[in-house]
Amino acid sequence: MTYIICEPCIGTKDTACVDACPVDCIHPKKGEAAGYRPDVQVAYDEVDQLYIHPEECIDCGACQPVCPVSAIFPQDEVPAQWEFYIEKNKLFYQLSWPEFKEKYGIK
């Protein structure tokens, strides 16, 4: 399984979860250039929210309690109105940034 970042991260993006994650699977990280890893094509300043890599997450739960806006859920506990964030977190790492922006209407 994986954890998923949902809507409340948008506009907050404080990166507390990044610091808590033991396996460095939450991106983009502040201060890194676009492309600092091949599947993160965009810098922190350009994204609407942060994303958890679903295949790298070890399901430890460390990120969930540190999020100030309760944006993080285990995949099987994502509230119904935010279920599309399951795919959104995954596709962030799979689509090109222009494709991803278009799909999710990110300015």
Contacts with ligand SF4, residue ranges (CB under 6 A) = 3, 5, 9, 12-17, 20-21, 23, 25-26, 50, 52, 57-63, 66-67, 69, 71-72
d(CA 73, CA 86): 10
d(CA 52, CA 70): 15
Residue 3 or 100 having the CB closest to ligand SF4: 3
**Closest CB 19 distance from ligand SF4, rounded Å:** 9
**Closest CB 28 distance from ligand SF4, rounded Å:** 10
In Å, what is the CA distance from 103 to each residue of 9, 33, 97, 100? 18, 23, 10, 5
